Amino acid sequence: MDLHFGDELKQLQEEVRRLLTERVSANLLRRLISEDEGYDPALWRTAAELGLLGAAVPEQYGGSGLGERAVCAIAEEMGRAVAPLPFFSSICLAAEAIKLAGAPAQKSAWLPRLASGEAIGTFAWQEGLGPPETDVDARFENGRISGVKSPVPDALLADVAVVVCEGPRLALADLSKGVRREPLRGFDQLRSHAKLVFENTPAEAMDVPDPKDALRRLYDRAAIYAAFEQLGAAESAMFMARDYTLQRYTFGRQLASYQAVKHNLANILVMVELARSNALYAAAALEADAPDLGAAAATARLAATRAYETAARENLQLHGGVGFTWEADCHFHYRRARLLALSLGSPAIWENRLIEALTKKNAAAA
Amino acid sequence: MHQTAPPARIDESAFRREVRAWLADNAAEYREARAWPEAELVARSLAWQKRKAEAGFGLITEPPGLGGRDGTAAMASIFAEEEARYHTPTFTGLGIAFGMALPTIRKHGAPEQYRRFAEPTIKGEAAWCQLFSEPSAGSDLAGLRTRAVRDGERWIVNGQKVWSSWAHHARFGILLARTDPTVVKHQGLTFFVLDMRTPGIEVRPIRQISGKSDFNETFLTDVVIPDANRIGAEGEGWACAMTVLMNERHGASERASVSHDSVENLLRAALAAGRLDSSSVRSKLAQWWVEEQGLKNFGLRIRAALERGETPPPAVAMMKLVSATKMQQTNAFLMDLGEYGGLFSEPDRPEQEQVFFQYIWSSAMMIAGGADEILRNQLAERVLGMPSEPRMDKVPFNELPGIKSS
């Protein structure tokens, strides 16, 4: 399998990196937190104009049809910049869910609007505490949803949601109609979350013969996109720590010259390189719809979660006391790493998914 | 040197079929894993190498005259994958030959030298050993003391080498020696090929903690090396040594996919032991799988980079770092699964001997070819651009403390 991102994708990725470097400053992020703003609408419009939102949306639905690897490349840059955009919710979750499970009319209605940035989508699965996919109480009957989904990412901004209901059944809800949104105070201050309260809210059934299978596939895809987001972010936190230790002097030496510091960063580099290798494999498996996609997705997610969580923690540690201050900006990664580690299910859940997949493969081979 | 036309695209599936058929005809006796006495292992390894060379599989990327078939790196990987389905005999002396000696001679030596040493090696007539480390030069390899003094068109070598794996079965050795003690230590080294049949070489086995004696001490007394066996320029030895070490670190992590401590086998063992329901067991297995796949996929990236004509990134040093630690952890786990009883091999569980051996061997892997600590320094310095360790040895070699007095 060819793991290499071709020149076209590399170029796209460079463009996104340039754009986000220029437009997403630490000042902007701190201001968004202080003003309790969930995202940067002007940057969202620019991203849409550059075609970043429709990368994996087929051309017939207004996308550019560049493919899933393009979304991976963009997600990596979103992670690197901690970009204040609902990219993951709208593109990696909602658009993917509609692609996987939407009826033709639903695809025609929503994919072009998501690809153009005119509408923002989200995916509502979680209901309070506990692992995803279990104990779903929201009901979808006679074209109406009743129940509470929480936390839902970017739910304050979203125009449409794919909602997981008891069964499981998948419903598509236009959020302009009869939904109450209650903002949540979340650990990550840069991605807003809310509670969606459906009270006999009209919604459409999605068109999928096996919703359970569709959900599994959606989680696999989302896990791979998230792995790229985590990968970019991990690398960013690692370089942030490296750069700080290079410019800080203690006892007459650069902090970066101490072996304890070098070995700490070398260990993180190893995690980042393993994560990159596994993410690239998963991206290739995704585009090829390979039979081992489930295991590949879990592998990529576990590797990337470990790399990002470690890089985010050690970045703060290596900044010393300064790292604990608001202005040092270590907190963006320190909080974001936890969000990305848990939002699609914790490492323990993915370890189980992985072991189940491998056991099945072993049994099949025996 | 060795310029070849860009390889034509080959039909990989056709090549794979050819390889499979050839292996089925020629490697049938190696379907099952077997352990041979040392001398037989060496003889079988060389005979198997010869057989491969006669069929053009000796070193696939070389021309037919050299036991190859002008093939691509991808073809070589296909052959290696297919061969890994068998338990064909191979010993360290060939690993050093193909993984370290030949690539280094090819890169730093003259084409005539490469051909002279590659031909007998690929045709199964010569195994190699590495004469680098010394009792007082391990991680600090450039501090080595073995002297080579020029005498017209030859060199006279005196000194002591250690950890020379399988030197007692080697036809050639790659030797790093000091040719100029008056300059800074890295600049005074030169790289040679030593014919192990030269008078003045004494190889003594070292008894290891594994109970075996793979390694030796090698004493060199007035050993003569013709200047024609000098690889690269005088004083260029360190660059050659770096090429060797880079290949060693890369090669050390490439292990057969059928090894007993692969995660698939660990999973089977955990299932058989009734421990697969334990979340801590699952967590460990998942972590090792992430590492195993990460290394495999990292290897694919490196291979693709080489095929695009790029040099392998210095991050390859991480492969040995990850695989050696994993080897130690997974073999400990295979003992843990049996609790107290896991520390004993019984006639019905002979595979446990392999577990013991790999657990012991992992401790050597974490040191050989660059100790873990040295590799972490390198990753930090060469990949992340962090400062070098503070050094006290930037003076001429013969003025260093410890050298000056002796």
Mean pLDDT within A69-92: 98
Contacts of B355 (CB under 8 A, 6+ apart): B260, B261, B331, B334, B335
Which stretch of A50-59, A115-124, B32-41 has the lowest confidence by average pLDDT? B32-41
Do the chains contact at A277 and B379, CB–CB below 8 Å?
no
Nearest chain A residue (CA) to B294: A274
Query: Taking 90 as the threshold, does the pLDDT of residue B256 lie above it?
Result: no
Do the chains contact at B384 and A242, CB–CB below 8 Å?
yes
Say which residue, B248 or B109, is predicted with more confidence: B109
Asked whether residue A185 falls in the same domain as residue A163, the answer is: yes
Residues of B in contact with A361 (CB under 8 A): 264
What residues pair up with B216 in beta bridges, in sequence order? B205
Mean pLDDT within B245-271: 74
User: How far apart, in whole angstroms, are the C-alpha atoms of residue B255 and residue A71?
Assistant: 34
Instruction: Kindly give the pairing relationship between strand B172-178 and strand B189-195.
Output: antiparallel
Asked whether residue A65 falls in the same domain as residue A167, the answer is: no
Furthest-apart CA pair in chain A: how many Å?
73
Alpha helices in chain A (DSSP H): 7-23, 26-34, 41-49, 68-81, 87, 96-101, 104-116, 211-247, 259-288, 293-318, 330-342, 347-365
Mutate to test the interface with B, among A7, A253, A277, A306 (most CBs of B within 10 A): A277
Asked whether residue A137 falls in the same domain as residue A249, the answer is: no
Structure tokens at B277: 């329901």
Asked whether residue A286 falls in the same domain as residue A223, the answer is: yes
Do the chains contact at A263 and B290, CB–CB below 8 Å?
no
- Tell me, yes or no, if B377 comes closer than 8 A to chain A by beta carbon: yes
Is residue A308, in this structure, part of any structural domain at all? yes
**Which class for B286: exposed (0-12), middle (13-18), buried (19 or more C-beta within 10 A)?**
buried
Give the A:B interface size as CB pairs under 8 Å.
129
Is residue A325, in this structure, part of any structural domain at all? yes
Do the chains contact at A274 and B295, CB–CB below 8 Å?
yes
Question: Domain segments of chain B: what residues?
Answer: 12-126, 129-237, 253-369
Task: List the one residue out of B177, B81, B71, B69 whose CA is nearest residue B131.
Answer: B177
Number of domains in chain A: 3
Which stretch of A224-228, B33-37, B210-214 has the lowest confidence by average pLDDT? B210-214
Contacts of B220 (CB under 8 A, 6+ apart): B131, B146, B157, B158, B159, B160, B161, B200, B201
Sequence length of chain A is 366
User: How far apart, in whole angstroms, are the C-alpha atoms of residue B351 and residue B346?
Assistant: 9
pLDDT at B259: 77
Query: Taking 50 as the threshold, does the pLDDT of residue B7 lie above it?
Result: no
Q: What does the DSSP assignment read for A117-177?
A: TSS-EEEE--BSSS-TTSS---EEETTEEEEEEEEEETTTT-SEEEEEETTTEEEEEETTS
Mean pLDDT within A98-120: 97
The per-residue pLDDT for range B88-141, each reduced to its tens digit, is 998 889 999 998 999 999 999 999 999 999 999 999 999 999 999 999 898 899
User: How far apart, in whole angstroms, are the C-alpha atoms of residue B67 and residue B61?
Assistant: 9
| CATH 3.40.50.150 assigned to B12-126 | no
Class level of CATH domain B253-369:
mainly alpha
Asked whether residue A19 falls in the same domain as residue A84, the answer is: yes
Mutate to test the interface with B, among A355, A359, A361 (most CBs of B within 10 A): A355
* A86 close to A120: Cβ distance less than 8 angstroms: yes
Residue B247: pLDDT band by 50, 70, 90 thresholds? confident
Percent of chain A with pLDDT over 90: 92
CATH number at residue A330: 1.20.140.10
Asked whether residue A54 falls in the same domain as residue A111, the answer is: yes
Asked whether residue A224 falls in the same domain as residue A327, the answer is: yes
User: How far apart, in whole angstroms, are the C-alpha atoms of residue B189 and residue B176?
Assistant: 7
**Which class for B167: exposed (0-12), middle (13-18), buried (19 or more C-beta within 10 A)?**
buried
User: How far apart, in whole angstroms, are the C-alpha atoms of residue B181 and residue A342?
Assistant: 59
The per-residue pLDDT for range A232-253, each reduced to its tens digit, is 999 999 999 999 999 999 999 9
- Tell me, yes or no, if B263 comes closer than 8 A to chain A by beta carbon: yes
Asked whether residue A360 falls in the same domain as residue A249, the answer is: yes
Task: List the one residue out of A305, A337, A344 whose CA is nearest residue A223.
Answer: A344
pLDDT at B347: 85
User: How far apart, in whole angstroms, are the C-alpha atoms of residue A197 and residue A180?
Assistant: 5
Residues of B in contact with A269 (CB under 8 A): 315, 318, 379-380, 383-384
pLDDT at B250: 58
The per-residue pLDDT for range A142-184, each reduced to its tens digit, is 999 999 999 999 999 999 999 999 999 999 999 998 999 999 9
Residues of A in contact with B384 (CB under 8 A): 238, 242, 262, 265-266, 269
Task: List the one residue out of A353, A103, A95 whose CA is nearest residue A209.
Answer: A103
Chain centroid to Cα B243, Å, comes to: 12
Is residue A1, in this structure, part of any structural domain at all? no
- Residue position matching structure tokens 């109970």: B211
> Is B351 labeled as catalytic in the residue annotation?
no
* B28 close to B51: Cβ distance less than 8 angstroms: no
Asked whether residue A261 falls in the same domain as residue A358, the answer is: yes
- Tell me, yes or no, if A1 comes closer than 8 A to chain B by beta carbon: yes
**Judged by CB atoms within 8 Å, which residues 307-336 of B form the interface with A?**
308, 315, 318, 321-322
Is residue A359, in this structure, part of any structural domain at all? yes
The interface pTM score, or ipTM, of the predicted complex is: 0.94
Asked whether residue A41 falls in the same domain as residue A146, the answer is: no
Residues of B in contact with A238 (CB under 8 A): 384
Residues of B in contact with A298 (CB under 8 A): 286
Do the chains contact at A355 and B297, CB–CB below 8 Å?
no
- Tell me, yes or no, if B221 comes closer than 8 A to chain A by beta carbon: no
Asked whether residue A40 falls in the same domain as residue A163, the answer is: no
Residue B405: pLDDT band by 50, 70, 90 thresholds? low
pLDDT at B3: 42
User: How far apart, in whole angstroms, are the C-alpha atoms of residue B254 and residue A249?
Assistant: 40
SS3 B176: strand
**Domain formed by B129-237, architecture:** Beta Barrel (2.40)
- Tell me, yes or no, if B258 comes closer than 8 A to chain A by beta carbon: no
Query: Taking 90 as the threshold, does the pLDDT of residue B260 lie above it?
Result: no
Range of the domain at A282: 211-365
Do the chains contact at A302 and B290, CB–CB below 8 Å?
yes
Domain boundary (A67, A89, A119) is at: A119
The per-residue pLDDT for range B309-331, each reduced to its tens digit, is 777 777 888 999 999 999 999 99
- Tell me, yes or no, if A266 comes closer than 8 A to chain B by beta carbon: yes
* Active-site entry in B62, B83, B134, B248: B248
**Number of CB atoms found within 10 A of residue B93's CB:** 25
Asked whether residue A353 falls in the same domain as residue A225, the answer is: yes
> Mean pLDDT in chain A?
95
SS3 B162: strand
User: How far apart, in whole angstroms, are the C-alpha atoms of residue A36 and residue B184?
Assistant: 61
Which of A257, A269, A277 lies nearest to residue B387, judging by beta carbons?
A257
